[in-house]
Amino acid sequence: MASPNLLLITLFLLLCPAFTPPSTSASASSDRVALDLYYESLCPYSANFIVNHLFNIFRNGIISIVRLHLVPWGNARIRGNDTFVCQHGALECLLNTVEACAIETWPDLNKHFSVIFCIEDLVYRRMSSQWEDCFDKLGLDLSPVAECCNSGLGKELELQYAAETNALQPPHEYVPWVVVDGQPLYEDYENFMSYICKAYKGTDVPKACSEVTLTIGRAGPSLPAVCYREEEVVVVESKSILSRIK
């Protein structure tokens, strides 16, 4: 059975195919707040953030003041000959690449976020092996993503994301690593909407910003869980897993 979140986003895409904000007024590109998410597909805390927190900005309208940039690499590492290994093994390398290819295939945020959300929803529910079902559920053709992976383009995209992630200053310490206008939020990442609303300098402030508790800071009774870089990496070369996509 599909999750309530997946049903919600599917209905939302059907009824509101243009939820990407218009390039006028408050949503003009120069006014938007940069929101960058560095993550890896099988980190359960990345999945939780995408499914239960990030998705909310599409429902409450805060997406209208955001430039969202998703970077599916996380704590993976490059080995010799431009091969790479992933923290949670072969399936993570595969899904990182699939999500990178979805972004490349469908630059429209409507489409590639729906794919990533669907996959991460399955990860969150411990059903990640069913990831291919997302394309049927969303009415999207898997073949261009498969071509992207099998042609080597997916590997190139992942290496580009690796370079971007490795160039972060300060370096990322774990995932999810959430950055608002160039500033990492560290353990306060679940409070990301507060930072977005505070950083926004435009005039048309979303109503949801008045409803967000603007508490900026890392202190709290319990900090969100993360996947640390220092945790063991499962050594599986990326080239061994792309043959799974037909």
Q: What pTM value is reported for the model?
A: 0.86
The stretch 39-49 carries a mean pLDDT of: 98
Q: Kindly state the average pLDDT of the residues 164-188.
A: 97
Q: What is the mean pLDDT of residues 203-231?
A: 78
Nearest to 94 by CA among 126, 119, 121: 119
Quick check: 243 pLDDT over 60?
A: no
Has residue 213 got a pLDDT over 90?
A: no
Query: 66: number of CA atoms within 13 Å, CB side?
Result: 29
What's the start-to-end Cα distance of the chain, in Å?
Answer: 25
Given a cut of 50, whether residue 106 has pLDDT beyond it is yes
Handedness of CA 140, 67, 96, 145 (dihedral sign): positive
Average pLDDT over residues 169-178: 97
Q: How confident is the model at residue 10 (pLDDT cuts 50, 70, 90)?
A: low
For residues 100-129, average pLDDT? 97
Which CATH number does 4-17+31-244 carry? 3.40.30.10
Domain range list for the chain: 4-17+31-244
Q: Are residues 66 and 35 in contact, defined by beta-carbon separation less than 8 angstroms?
A: yes
Model confidence band, residue 26 (pLDDT cutoffs 50, 70, 90): very low
Of 35-49, 109-123, 218-232, give the lowest mean pLDDT range: 218-232
Average pLDDT for 100-121: 97
Q: Is the pLDDT of residue 27 over 70?
A: no
β pairing state of 66-72 and 33-39: parallel
Residue 224's pLDDT is 77
Cβ–Cβ < 8 Å for 234, 85: yes
Output b/e per residue, 16-27; b: 16+ Cβ within 10 A: eeebbbeeeebb
pLDDT tens digits, one per residue of 56-95: 999 999 999 999 999 999 999 999 888 899 999 999 999 9
**Number of Cβ within a 10 Å radius of residue 15:** 8
At position 95, the amino acid (one-letter code) is L
Nearest to 203 by CA among 110, 65, 111: 65
| Residue 107 scores a pLDDT above 90 | yes
| pLDDT (average), residues 36-63 | 97
What is the share, in percent, of the chain residues with pLDDT greater than 70? 77
